[in-house]
């Protein structure tokens, strides 16, 4: 079946560097994407979302880029901080199918070294 | 702090026990979800309630029984579970309806279940 996946399962960066977490998706009908952050022992926390009619969306220290041609999504974190250490999941939804079925990717563990 | 509250945070039960997980939200959301998450894996959808009616059941075994008493509450009743059911059970809620602005799910902290 179609799924959302990630290129890198782990990423280690130095504090202050920029981080880039990648995600590949295969469902060409997906039109809504979300990045979640999950810290140890906690539930996933919304970071930023993007709809398929956009290529880029910026938040506070985070930017999501969407390349529909190659079905690729990325999360950029500027000036990474130790508090950014967590597992990051991309998730996708095909609103033409069901608004409720959010499919999560495998996750990337981000470790920020002081 | 999450606006979705789950209790208990931790639960240990035997295979013959009956227990329940509870979830509450007061954001006026009309869609509520149960997800199961194994260690180092992404959340997997189990059930979706929309306007207090079961909308999606992802072929979950009948030993898991969801219940939505009202628009703010969601329960997951557990009976005759297996050790492989040990996991983090996450509740989530979202806006609902044609005017839904975002597909964002708001997650609780989860209930960590251990089946002995």
User: Are the beta carbons of A49 and B33 separated by less than 8 Å?
Assistant: no
Give the pLDDT score at A102. Answer: 87
What would the pLDDT profile of A29-39 be if each residue is shown by its tens digit? 999 999 999 99
What would the pLDDT profile of A48-105 be if each residue is shown by its tens digit? 999 999 999 999 999 999 999 999 999 999 999 999 999 999 999 887 777 778 889 9
- Sorting pLDDT into bands at 50, 70 and 90, what band is A4? low
Give the pLDDT score at B97. Answer: 52
Give the pLDDT score at B18. Answer: 95
The residues, ordered by sequence, that sit 6+ positions from A22 with a Cβ below 8 Å of its Cβ are A6, A7, A8, A72, A73, A74, A108
Do A11 and A113 meet the contact criterion of CB atoms below 8 Å apart? no
User: Which residues from B are below 8 Å from A41, CB to CB?
Assistant: 109
Task: State the best of B23, B43, B46 to mutate against chain A, taking most chain A CBs within 10 Å.
Answer: B43
HSE value, Cβ hemisphere, 13 Å, CA-based, for A109: 8
- Sorting pLDDT into bands at 50, 70 and 90, what band is B95? confident
Q: What is the DSSP string of A24-58?
A: EE--TT--EEEEEEE-TTS--EEEEEEETT-SEEE
Give the pLDDT score at A5. Answer: 53
Read off the pLDDT of each residue in B69-73 and give the average, rounded to a whole number: 94
């Amino acid at each position: 079946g179609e799924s959302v996946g990630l290129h890198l399962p782990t990423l280690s960066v130095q504090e202050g560097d920029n981080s880039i977490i990648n995600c590949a998706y295969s469902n060409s009908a997906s039109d809504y994407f979300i990045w979640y952050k999950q810290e140890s022992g906690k539930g996933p926390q919304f970071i930023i979302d993007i709809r398929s009619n956009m290529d880029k969306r910026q938040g506070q220290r985070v930017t999501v880029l969407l390349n529909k041609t190659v079905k690729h999504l990325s999360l950029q974190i500027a000036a990474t901080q130790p508090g950014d250490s967590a597992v990051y999941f991309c998730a996708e939804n095909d609103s033409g199918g069901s608004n409720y079925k959010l499919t999560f990717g495998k996750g990337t563990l981000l470790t920020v070294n002081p | 702090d999450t606006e979705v509250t789950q209790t208990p945070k931790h639960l240990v039960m035997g295979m013959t026990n009956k227990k329940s997980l509870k979830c509450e939200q007061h954001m006026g959301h009309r869609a509520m979800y149960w997800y199961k998450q194994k260690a180092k894996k992404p959340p997997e959808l189990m059930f979706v309630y929309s306007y207090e009616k079961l909308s999606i059941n992802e072929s979950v075994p009948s030993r898991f029984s969801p219940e939505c008493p009202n628009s703010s509450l969601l329960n997951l009743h557990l009976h005759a579970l297996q050790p492989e059911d040990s996991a983090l059970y996450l509740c989530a809620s979202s806006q609902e309806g044609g005017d839904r602005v975002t597909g964002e799910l708001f997650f609780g902290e989860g209930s960590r279940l251990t089946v002995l």
